[in-house]
A and B are shown apart, each in its own frame.
Chain A
Amino acid sequence: MAVREKASGGWTPGLLILLFSAPLTVVGCQGSGSDPDSMGQTTPPPKNPMVGLFAPDRSGPGENTLILSGATSGEDLDLIVRANSVSAALAGAAFDLVFDPENVTYVGYSAGDFFERAGAVTYGVAPRSDRLIVGVAAGPLSTGAGGSGNVVTLHFRAKATGRSGIAFDNQALCSVALTTACDRQPSLSWYGGTYSVS
């Protein structure tokens, strides 16, 4: 779980991935073009498209995890919140996704299949300056969702070059067994990632 990793001060998979991804980021920057002014140009050069890379804090799925995985295409970033081998029967997921508004901008979301397998699902996504407030809730008659699947896909677009973390905050998973409260799922871990734009 994320807490243990921070307490230990040891190497985390996420850090390893970041280190591994750093050269890729550098390569990307090297390909971004030369300084037009140095060439004496008087008209603006064509803008080179930004290229993004998302490095998840956790690469493997693991058990009882919710991980952020990213698919990038040019400036577009699709962040998939994926549940992996969840053993509990869940009624919903609630979290904030914190991002750097200088780096990316939120575009929209797509439904996932994780909760939808258990019936009708309500999605709430409210963009705020530096975060999305997200809720994904199964219906009142749902028997709960478990196993693996995509909870929701959140679409972003690169805004400026740079690198920033995208992290979960205020996260909670709610057990369908408790109908009046979200039950803490201590064995579930959440993993964010880092987005680099060059």
Chain B
Amino acid sequence: MSRRYSFVKTAMRSSRPGEDSVLESDEWQKLEYVACHLTGLQRPLWCAKKTFRSLAGLLIVFTLFCVWPAEGRSASSGALGQAPIQGRYAEGEVLVQVKTGLSRGEVEAIFARYGMTILRAYRAMPQLFHVRLPEGLTVEAAITALKADAGVESAEPNDLVEPQSACPAPCSPNDSQYPNQWGLANIRAEGAWGITHGSSDVIVAILDTGLDRLHPDLQDNAWTNPADPLNGVDDDGDGYIDDYYGYDATASLCPTVPCRAGDPMDDDTSVQGHGTRLAGIIGAVGNNGRDIAGVNWHAKILPIKIRREPDRQSSLDLMLAGFDYLIAKRTLGVPISVAHLSFLVSSYSSALQAGIDAVRDAGILIIWSAGNGGENVDADATDFYAHAYDNVLFVGAIDLSNELASFSSYGQVGVHLAAPGVGILSTVRSAYTPLGQADDGTSYSAPFVTGVAALLAAWNPALTYTQLKARIMSATTRTDGLVGKVAAGGRLNAAGVFTAPITDLTPAGYQLARTEAGHRYYLDRTFTVTSIPQGFDGLWWVRTRNNDKAQTAANFLRLGLGQEATVYVAYDPRAAKIPDWLSPAQGWTATEHAIGVAGDPVGTLRLYAKPFRPSMVVLGGNQAPGYVNTTGNVSNYVVLVGFSAGNADTDGPSDTRLDGYDLVKFNLAVGSSVGSPNWCAACDLDTNGTIDALDVSLFMNNFGKSL
């Protein structure tokens, strides 16, 4: 917070001169002086002297006005040959530096001569004063007069300092269709672009119908493999000959020979190039004056073709072949961070699970569309999406109202988050102008997430897939229409991923979700939460596996915190003795709170709490040393994360409590996002870039408390 706020608060706090204030007694007199003029001559003797000086000042002001051309009183015009003041500045006030050696009385006399009042004196800069001008005196006139005063060293306008843009130029890209890309605005892409536009060192693999690598808005971002040029030889020795433009796993099915496995051109006719559309959303060249901007302006797109006309069907074999190629390139050191898939797999497959796990072991995050069946994927245990995969984020679609799109599949466990998927413009195959029509589908919502993951990888190439997952999930913007529909209860927030509140989570298969009554709390059980203590709804929740209840390691669960938080462990009270890592000796407190659960015979899980600084929090296993069980079954714990509202204290280091002042400031910011006029960074308690309902809940639960 600025000194200004501090001054205001302190001045109002002080009840008399010399008490807890930056104002000296004579400054209090100045306030009295102002009050005297404002309220009239209520104290004749004291005010009389002031009034005399005031009249003198007004006389000078009057003189200034008389000699001042009317047009010169405009803030934007020059005066008496003086160059116009550049930029924006506060009307009715100036900053004045007086000559050294002047007594306080002499300084006051200077300002009194012009009818000016001191708004602020700076302790560390005793010659500098922030001064309010009498009504009617322009800034230019005041500066001219002050500069002519023998006691004044300098005078200048109080320039308004623009808030630093979260998006350095070019902020809004000049792509012709950018204004029609509502999805980019929805995910707050400009906020992310203030940090990075992406990097050509990050490679995104798209397993789909291929890529029209000649598209003018894509060709600069189309990956090529200089290690294996088109010469009929497997130069890079990975088993794929001439994979210069990528890989076509369907080449053997090609009806018109020859099809080259190293040139995965998009041949889809159903939507003018499904793979090319995905590529455009993820990584169309940004700010090139044409077509669209990708979420990531510079990432390289590596097409792996696993779907072919005439019907665009694929198979588990083709998918696995695609994974095989992906892993081969990664093994060669090609920096593939993210793989993208936008098609539906209906049933769980252990073969596909093996392929996904192999991609995981290569360190690659997979972003996968949730499907357009409009169904609850959690409802059928045999569904592909009903299983938790360590390195996959499944993405549903929202419409322009931030509601789950009618066609989008969903599931509070099986679908992680949502992104725009209705009316999505993108690049299309073999039709470079005009731009292809907009299309709908989770196929087009998932690429937004892929593009953001690639932005994160550009920002920090060292991020692991678990870290990418945690950041993307915990940065989501909580959205009413998605609560209970997707694990995050929210939608993609590109701007928030860089300051995400949760930065990592392992075991990798554990899932971040929002606490809501009625939700499942284990990945591998259908037990549901029946009650949550007041103020705990909407907190982050780590869905664990109940099958992990026999873990005995002292270091089992790792949770990266990007900011101060209170971690709550919901532990089964049937244990005769809790493990040592959860004991008071380790800083944990048994709270009076519990969550109610159904399905699990325990009925309630007791909440233990411990505050943490931003750090890697390590929790032991459910049955780590110290644990004693005499009652039979003891369920595994789950974890809740509540972020402190202490950092919403906006009135400076002198006050570390959340009080009415903070409430007023906070309330003004509710609903704002990064870059909007009312934005208050300190109020964004969950650091998702929006002052939303969760922030309000956290703030009000902590109102009146001190750090």
Chain B proximity mask over A1-40: 1 for CB below 8 Å, otherwise 0: 1111011101000000000000000000000000000000
Stretch at the interface among A48-56, A130-138, A155-163: A130-138
User: If the complex has contacts A170-B659, A172-B661, A179-B677, are A137 and B666 also in contact, measured as CB distance less than 8 A?
Assistant: yes
Q: Is the CB of B667 within 8 A of A122?
A: yes
Least CB separation from B665: chain A residue: A182
For residue B310, CB closer than 8 A to chain A, the reply is: no
Prevailing SS type, chain B contact patch: helix
Bound-state CA distance A3–B33 (Å) is: 11
Q: Which residues of A contact B8 (CB under 8 A)?
A: 172, 181-184
Stretch at the interface among B10-18, B207-215, B284-292, B440-448: B10-18
Interface centre among A169, A174, A183 (most CB of B within 10 A): A174
Shortest CB-to-CB span from A109 to chain B, Å, is: 12
Interface centre among A122, A183, A187 (most CB of B within 10 A): A122
Interface centre among A8, A138, A170 (most CB of B within 10 A): A170
For residue A94, CB closer than 8 A to chain B, the reply is: yes
Stretch at the interface among B24-32, B298-306, B633-641: B24-32
User: If the complex has contacts A140-B667, A186-B31, are A95 and B660 also in contact, measured as CB distance less than 8 A?
Assistant: yes
Q: Is the CB of B667 within 8 A of A3?
A: no
**Contact partner of A140 among B11, B34, B35, B669, CB < 8 A?**
B669
For residue A112, CB closer than 8 A to chain B, the reply is: no
Interface centre among B8, B35, B657, B700 (most CB of A within 10 A): B8
Q: Is the CB of A170 within 8 A of B13?
A: yes
**Contact partner of A6 among B16, B42, B666, CB < 8 A?**
B16
Chain A proximity mask over B683-707: 1 for CB below 8 Å, otherwise 0: 0000000000000000010011100
Q: Is the CB of B660 within 8 A of A138?
A: no
Least CB separation from A4: chain B residue: B32
Q: Which residues of A contact B7 (CB under 8 A)?
A: 184
Q: Is the CB of B667 within 8 A of A133?
A: no
Q: Which residues of A contact B348 (CB under 8 A)?
A: none
Shortest CB-to-CB span from B129 to chain A, Å, is: 16
User: If the complex has contacts A138-B667, A170-B659, are A7 and B672 also in contact, measured as CB distance less than 8 A?
Assistant: no
For residue B257, CB closer than 8 A to chain A, the reply is: no
Bound-state CA distance A7–B15 (Å) is: 10
Q: Is the CB of A94 within 8 A of B659?
A: yes
Q: Which residues of B contact A180 (CB under 8 A)?
A: 665, 668, 678, 680
For residue B432, CB closer than 8 A to chain A, the reply is: no
Q: Is the CB of B663 within 8 A of A187?
A: no
List B residues at the A interface (Cβ < 8 Å).
1-2, 4-5, 7-9, 11-13, 15-17, 28-29, 31-32, 34-36, 38-39, 42-43, 46, 657, 659-672, 677-678, 680, 700, 703-705
List A residues at the B interface (Cβ < 8 Å).
1-4, 6-8, 10, 91-96, 122, 124, 126-128, 133-140, 167, 169-172, 174, 176, 179-184, 186-187
Sampled A-B contacts (9; CB under 8 Å):
A1-B32, A4-B32, A96-B659, A122-B667, A124-B704, A136-B663, A170-B12, A181-B665, A182-B661
